[in-house]
Structure 1
Amino acid sequence: MTPWTGLHWLNEPDWSTEDQTLRMTTQGQTDFWRATHYGFVRDSGHVLHTGPLQDFTARVRVEGQYQALYDQAGLMVRSSPAQWVKAGVEFVGEQQLSAVVTRDFSDWNVRPVGHPETVELKMTRCGDTLSVQVRLPGQDWGLLRLAYYPPEIPAVVGVFACSPERAGFQVQFSDFEVGAPEEGALY
């Protein structure tokens, strides 16, 4: 059994699994965004996700071929097209750590990360809080984002990838796991 067994696709891309690794190739003009600054709504990105959950910690290791503007991959928590959080690596001139929190309208933060071969991501949902942590090779976990997430709304969690400017962004995910919230994972 792989960590990908029993998960569900939203906007299924070209994909394959080998051992514990999921490889995904995006379709063109795929993204998740709602209104802010750009004025459009996009809900076409690819997500492989669990069923609805309340509190959890999800982790994954991501490696992508980031080349075109807004190529992105990571973890996503989602309750509806208007209520979600995505976090990972996004190409904006260079690789950036990125998080978007959406409650009807999207907000976005980025931080340059250089060119690491892989990035590990961890999302913890506990009560009304969602914590996004990142670990680069040879470093400890660090906080990327701490956000409010309505505690009464179940959410799915999984891996996502998008490429608004092109088709063919290739990304692989490994070490994916979802379990009980880790103690100390919230700041």
Structure 2
Amino acid sequence: MSANFTNLERGSWTTEPVHTQHDGERLIVQAQEGSDFWEETFYGFCHRNGHALLAPWDGEQAVEVSFDLNSFTELYDQAGLMLWHGEHQWIKAGVEVNDGVVHVGAVVTDQFSDWSLSPVPEWGGRIVTIRASYHQESVIIRARTDEHPWRTIRVARFAYPAHKQAGPFLCSPKRAGFEVAFTRWTYTAPDTDLHSDPPIDDETGNGA
């Protein structure tokens, strides 16, 4: 594929999705029904069968994943960026449907999962980019759409100097047939400051 998917050949799935398909500049992925990542907190269950396409990430560069929200219609439809150290240490950041509204948020897991989210109904149907930049044993997670500016989603501890991986993820806890069109997965320049927005790479169509 194009330079928008610079890590694709190095990536491997944590759990194979139902199918993947290259459609021009898009990678179309269908999730298994009942797929998710979650470790115990609040719900009391563990789900480790979500789909994350992971490649090595040393943290020297930021990582960005972009995807189309047009297919997000049902409860807990979700996709975004996975940061991975192991089965019990990971962060998924992205967009999911909750109570009929798309929300942007993150689940940070270190043995147990937490969950933070914020409604973004104005993002419906847009191309979303999720970005993570590593700094001093933590990650700055940001998100934007092709029509909206960067917003900071989370600053979280991710104190793993080695054996980090990153890449796109999707899950479909409630239904069969959920597909996500990923439009970009690449490394780029890291953040220069927590309070300064990173640049938008015009060569990739504003991340679309």
The normalised TM-score by structure 1 is 0.92
8 Å CA contact 1:124–1:130 kept in 2: the answer is yes
Residue 101 of structure 1 is matched in structure 2 by 108
Moved more, 29-38 or 2-11: 2-11
Percent pairwise identity = 33
Give the drift of 1:179: 4.0
8 Å CA contact 2:56–2:163 kept in 1: the answer is no
Residue 131 of structure 1 is matched in structure 2 by 140
Distance 1:42 1:75 in 2: 17
Mapped pair 1:10 → 2:9: no
Q: Which runs of 5+ in 2 are unaligned?
A: 196-208
Q: CA RMSD in A?
A: 1.6
Give the drift of 1:31: 0.2
Residue 84 of structure 1 is matched in structure 2 by 90
Question: Following superposition of structure 1 onto structure 2, how do residues 1-187 of structure 1 map, counting pairs within 5 Å?
Answer: 2=2, 3=5, 4-13=8-17, 14-64=19-69, 65-93=71-99, 94-114=101-121, 115-179=124-188, 181-184=190-193, 186-187=194-195
Give the drift of 1:180: 5.0
Equivalenced residue count is 186
Distance 2:78 2:184 in 1: 18
More strand by share: 1
Distance 2:175 2:36 in 1: 11
The normalised TM-score by structure 2 is 0.83
Give deviations 1:130-184, integer Å, cap 9, x for gaps: 1110112322211010001113342100000001111211111112212452433
